[in-house]
Structure 1
Amino acid sequence: MSDRRRGILEAATRVIARRGVRGLRMGELAAEAGVSTALIYYHFTDRAGILRETLEYISERADHYTAEDEAAPARTPPGDRDPRTELEQVLLLELQDTTEVRENSTAWGELRASAVFEPDLREDLARNTHSWVHDVAELLAHADPFGTATAHAAAAERLTALVEGLSVRWLSGSLPVEQARRLLHGAIEAELGNGRPGAGRGPGGGGFDGS
């Protein structure tokens, strides 16, 4: 991706986080990115194109900051990590009190909320959500090799939905980020049955019982 294109997508993420999807105006986006509106249309064709690619950009940026824990630069290489540790990192790093994560999570929430009223957004959002859930389900499969694919998929849906809900409460000031992380960690523990193969699962493949 070119630096100019990336700069426009970074600016679109900031504007959406600040004003919501309905507040995304080409003039403001151009000013935020330091480019002309003509250049935005050249790269993205129309408003729908900007929203579509901003969703992709947000997902890719989240993949990046959940893959690397900057507080621990000497981490074990990804291929050598304990599967459970990798799963916890990928989910817990969605709840970091940094400008990048706040901006990314807020913009994602605005795009999801707008999809209720803008059908054109739903397909793109569903595709990105499915990819996220699929990735988490794969991590669950490595961390819990005794579970079934159905159970892992259901657990991934629950955990990613919990991340979104906790993010909203944290970002809106209803929940301290430390408490949000503790709650998410507890949910991961419940889904994995505290490391006991098959523990915590009912006949329907459930894991987290709220206790």
Structure 2
Amino acid sequence: MTAPAPTMDSPRVVTILEAACRVVIRDGAHGLRMASVADEAGVSKALVHYYFPTRQDLLRAAFALSEERWEHLVADEVAGLPTGRDRVAHSLAACIDTAPPHGEFRALWTAMWTGLHGDEELRPEVRTHYRAWIDLLAERVREGQADGSIDPDVDASVTAYRLAALTDGLDSILYLGLSEPVEVQAALRAACEQELDR
């Protein structure tokens, strides 16, 4: 019997993928096991395999679900902000917010990122999502240039790369406990202001 293609509309599939996300956050991407996900979801291991034949299929689908939800969350949050500059700043701040709901997505992304060292198959998946994130940042920089809130001479693509790298570095500092969240957020705001006013 061939399994149907999993869709995010299926409650069973969503339950399994949400459980997989929790397992990744708890055990790391390298620690994801079908049996652990089945236990977490309260379903049989056979059902998990029915929808996701391999561990990689499950991991990719769980990451895709998380990224889709993250994108919708942040898009909803920035939709009412008046300028592109505000949207850029909020998008970056959300990445290093440790409080719910942002913190859960941040934890999963960190687990996936660290999992790259032991799982080369993850690299294309993470790279694709990261590329899309940088492109989205560049688009929001251009929105700010169009509405006059960001210096028109700023190179949107280069600035997006720099801001993404800066945010990743600050997130690492936060993850290691080298600084408090309020201090890291303040540093991000200051650096963002400098980048957008070049």
The TM-score normalised by the length of structure 2 is: 0.83
The one-letter code of the counterpart of 1:115 is L
Structure 1 unpaired stretches of 5+: 70-76, 194-199, 201-211
Q: How does 1:53-68 map to 2 (within 5 A)?
A: 53-68=61-76
Q: What's the counterpart of residue 48 of structure 1?
A: 56
Deviation at 1:191, TM superposition (A): 1.1
Give the alignment partner of residue 29 of structure 1, picking from 33, 37, 62. 37
The one-letter code of the counterpart of 1:185 is R
Deviation at 1:175, TM superposition (A): 2.1
From the superposition, tell whether residues 158 and 58 of structure 1 become closer, same or farther in structure 2 (CA, over 3 Å). farther
| Alpha-carbon distance in 1 for matches of 2:166, 2:12 | 35
Q: Deviations over 1:116-171 (max 9, x none)?
A: 332211111111101111000000111124236xx211211121222223223323
| Alpha-carbon distance in 2 for matches of 1:170, 1:162 | 12
| 2:113 paired with 1:109 | no
| 2:153 paired with 1:147 | yes
Q: RMSD of the TM alignment (CA)?
A: 2.0
Q: What's the counterpart of residue 73 of structure 1?
A: none
**Are the counterparts in 2 of residues 66 and 94 from structure 1 also a CA contact under 8 Å?**
no
From the superposition, tell whether residues 20 and 36 of structure 1 become closer, same or farther in structure 2 (CA, over 3 Å). same
| Alpha-carbon distance in 2 for matches of 1:172, 1:15 | 21
Q: What's the counterpart of residue 15 of structure 2?
A: 7
- 2:30 match: secondary structure: coil
**Are the counterparts in 2 of residues 170 and 177 from structure 1 also a CA contact under 8 Å?**
yes
The one-letter code of the counterpart of 2:20 is A
Deviation at 1:9, TM superposition (A): 1.7
Q: Deviations over 1:88-142 (max 9, x none)?
A: 1222122323244223212211211221332211111111101111000000111
Give the alignment partner of residue 189 of structure 1, picking from 170, 175, 193. 193
From the superposition, tell whether residues 189 and 117 of structure 1 become closer, same or farther in structure 2 (CA, over 3 Å). same
Q: How does 1:126-145 map to 2 (within 5 A)?
A: 126-145=127-146
The TM-score normalised by the length of structure 1 is: 0.79
| Alpha-carbon distance in 2 for matches of 1:46, 1:66 | 31
Structure 2 unpaired stretches of 5+: 1-7, 147-151
Q: What's the counterpart of residue 84 of structure 2?
A: 83
The one-letter code of the counterpart of 2:171 is S
Worse overlay, 130-139 or 96-105:
96-105
Identity %: 30
Q: What's the counterpart of residue 171 of structure 1?
A: 175
| Alpha-carbon distance in 1 for matches of 2:81, 2:91 | 15
| Alpha-carbon distance in 2 for matches of 1:6, 1:168 | 30
How many residues matched? 185
Give the alignment partner of residue 17 of structure 1, picking from 25, 33, 40. 25
| Alpha-carbon distance in 2 for matches of 1:7, 1:159 | 34
| Alpha-carbon distance in 1 for matches of 2:103, 2:140 | 24
